[in-house]
Each structure stands twice: as C-alpha cells, then as structure tokens.
Amino acid sequence: MRATFHLKTLAVAIATLSVASMTNAAGLDRSGQDITAFLQDGTYAEAVYTYIDADVTGNDNAYVGTSDTAYVKGNKTGDIAESYDFFRYGVKTDINDTFSVGILYDEPFGAAAAYTGDNNFTGAPTAAIDGLIAQQLDGKVPGQTITSAAGLDAYVKGVQQQLAAGREQVRQGEAAIAANPALESTLRPQIVAGKAQIAAGEAQVAPLVGLNGYAAGQLANTEGTNVEVRSESITAILGAKFGANKEFQIYGGPVAQRIEAQTRLRGSAYDLATGYTSNSNPDMDYGWLAGVSYSKPEIALKAALTYRSEIDHKMDITETYPLAGLLAGNPAAATQTNEMEITTPKSVNFDFQTGINPTTLATAKVRWVPWSDFAIVPPLYNQISKRATGDDVGLPLVDYDDDQWQVELGLAKRLAPALAVSGTVGWDSGSGDPTTSLGPIDGYYSVGLGAKYNVTPEWAVSVGGKYLWFGDAKGKLPTQQIVGDFQDNDGYILGMKLSYQGK
C-alpha cells in the first residue's frame, strides 16, 4: 500500500524553515520577500522577528599613486556592520475552495554600516585636502608654492596680517590729516596708494580665504562614514485554484513600498566627496506581484514561482556637498534639496517542498535579483561627479556589477506529534567584487538550524538560527578606485516566529 504524506501531518515541520532562512548579503536585499505564509492551507497567520549580527572588518588602502586598482594593506577599519532587526507578518484565509486572500508585511531592503577608529573612512581627510590645494594653487600664487592646508592657512593669515597693518596705517594717516590739515598734500597720495594696495591684496586673497575655510571645515571633521537604508512593504494577494483537484493556483496583487536612506561620507578614502551628507524623505510607491503554484497533498509537494515587479520611487533628498559650495564660490550652494528617482529591483522566487517519508520534508528555495540594474544617483552628488568623468552621465553613489542568485536547501523532521526540527544549507552569489565600500561583502555560505513546538493544535512557536561565512570583497568608490579590503568575515541570524493555523 502506497504511503501518503498529508500536508496536515507534516505542517509541524514546514514553518521552521522560514524563521531565519532568507536573509541576504547581496546588494540591499534583507528579507528575501518570502510569501510562503500565503501558500499555507486554511486560515494561517504568523509574526516573525529576525535579528542579524554580522562581523565585517578589513583594512583601508595605504597605496599612494595613480593606479585605481592597486592595493597596499593599511589601517584596520574595525567592525563596520551594525546589528539590526526587523519584523515580518502574514495572514491568509480561504474564501472558499477556489479563492484565497492574504496580506503580507516585510522589510525587504536595507543597509546599516558605520566606520569607526583610525582609518581612511573616518576623521580629517588630510591627504585629499592637501591634494586639492596643491592642484588648485599650482602656479597661481606669485612667489609662493603652496601644497598643503597648513601652508595655505599660514599664507592666508600672513597676508591678512599685512592687510590689517596697511589698514592701520591708512587709519593713522587719516587721523593725522584730521588733526593737522596742512599734512593733506603730503599724506593723501600715500593714503590713496595704500588703499589701492589693500584693495588689490583683498581681491587676491579673497578666493584663498574661501578655499582655506573649506579646508579648515573638512579637517575639523571627526565623524566616521555611515549609511542606513530602511524599507517597508505591504502586499495584498488574491489567489484562485483550478484543475481537477484544485492542484494549481494563480495569485497576484498590489505591493505598497516605503523607503528612506541616510548617507555620510567621511575620511580621505572618499577624496573630494568627503563631507558629503544626504537625507532622503520617506517615499511610498507601488508595484505588483504575480505567481503560480502547484500542490500534490498525497506526497506533501508544493511548488511556487513568484515574480515581483520593480517599484519606481521619486523622493525629496537633501544633500550637503562642501565641494559644491567651494566650486560655486558660495557656501550656500553646498546644501540643496532636489528630487531623486530610485527603482528597487524586480525579483523571482522559487519555493519547493516535498515529503520524503511520513515524518520528513525536503525543501528548496531559489531567488534571483538583478542588482546590476540598480543604482542610487543623488542629483547634487552626480552633478559634481561630472567634473571627474568629463561627460554628461556622471557617477552614481551606489551601484552593483552582478545579479544575485541565492539557493537554500533544507530538511525538516517531525520528532514527536508537537515537535519538529529542521536544518538548512545555503549559498548567495553576492553582487560583485569589488563592490561598494558601504557594504563590502560578496555573498556567503550558510548553515542553519530550527525547531518548532505546537503549543496547541493551532498555535505554534518556532525558533531558528543561521551562521554565515561572508565572501571576501574589496571596497571601491564609484570611480572604481579600491579603498579597502575585507576578508574572513562572518555573522549570525536569530529568528523567532509565532504562528496560527486553523481549518
């Protein structure tokens, strides 16, 4: 007699796999955009909490020269990956034996990185400022060779002292004439010549004062580079089953997505972009989801293919770029608010499970995200970057070279009527190496364990964890210059889920 593996029998083992199973390292991917809550039978609800702690350390680039790809091991960066957590919620019910509805909430995209310590990503960008001064003043100050911020400051202060002395002499001459008008013919020519010299000196030193003020402001900076990206997503799904045994289902629905970001670039690694700061206002925009699934309850088989669309955002972003104020000759031009467009990527998820025997379930998840199509291009940053590229395209703040592929395989075993355990192994391709210095990881390998306990036939608590070995990566600027090397890094994920499943 053929054994059958009814889904209700194996349900205790299924949900353990999704507690901490789809948290990603490629691009800005975070939640994996899991929809398996909608694929459960009957009325189902879940609340999932996930905590991630990664250790991402490396060294800055001590190379001095003209090659963008050369690297010499420099100072340690410390751990740049900030721990973060997020929630996922889902609820689904069957209207009848054909139609189902559900609502899912997750936080699909995000980033949290901060540099600390003594390295090229923190503090005063001395080398970059000295280089700018040497370039700007080469041969432009008669009789002077100024190649550093210290040299410029000394020269400007010296000229200002001379101008102050000249003004004092003019004041004394005017006072002498007022006290003794007979000195008019003698002192007036000297006063006129002195005023002319002062005016010429002020005109000569004025642009140097602006450059000196810019340099002083940047060299006084003691902050570190950091970035934070947050997003939220709500998906409404309607599904319709068809086929002789209702084994097929098509589903789809609208997606509302909210996203915001903050960036601070500090230290000499970012060259003349150092001091750049941006804050984007939260923006809500909309996309869609569509998919198809197949089930065969007698062997506990389920397979689902889900497509999520791109979502185009238009948001207000306030940028402060000190170099912009210097180039414009107007400090107020350093801060601007403009509209920025950003498109979060489309994705394809494949979810599969099948029973091996009446107490064991095998699962597989595959995810594809075309991160090579994604870029963050703040308007002011891009405008100033065109001076470096010499074209009308400029540079993005963040982009990626490769698409992400992720594969995760798992087994779940029911040990007792109310208890099941699970294990997973996973691989993430990453999105290219070298990659952005704001997230220098090139994919990972992972292993995970989980357990689920049914408190009642309907209510269950699941816990899970995963250990990740991150791929080594070099950090680069949008100019393709290598600024750091990050090796031998790892992290872990912990998750907990409360779920309800009724008829």
Q: How far apart are the first and last CA of the chain?
A: 28
Asked if pLDDT for residue 21 goes beyond 80, the answer is: no
In eight-state DSSP terms, residue 29 is B
- State the average pLDDT for the chain: 88
CA distance 31 to 22: 6
Write out the H or E segment, with its range, that includes residue 325. Answer: helix 322-328
pLDDT in tens, 43-76: 999 999 999 888 999 999 998 888 888 999 999 9
Domain boundaries, the chain: 7-119+228-502, 136-214
What is residue 121's predicted lDDT score, i.e. its pLDDT? Answer: 92
Neighbour tally for 404: CB within 10 Å: 24
Q: What is the pTM of this model?
A: 0.86
Q: pLDDT tens, 300-352?
A: 899 999 999 999 999 999 999 988 888 887 888 889 999 999 999 999 999 99
Q: Tell me which residue of 312, 316, 384 sits closest to 345, measured CA to CA.
A: 312
Strands (E), 212-359: 226-242, 248-264, 277-280, 283-296, 301-308, 311-320, 335-344, 347-357
Class of domain 7-119+228-502 (CATH, top level): mainly beta
Beta carbons of 77 and 58 less than 8 angstroms apart:
yes
Q: Looking at the predicted structure, is the pLDDT value of residue 9 above 80?
A: no
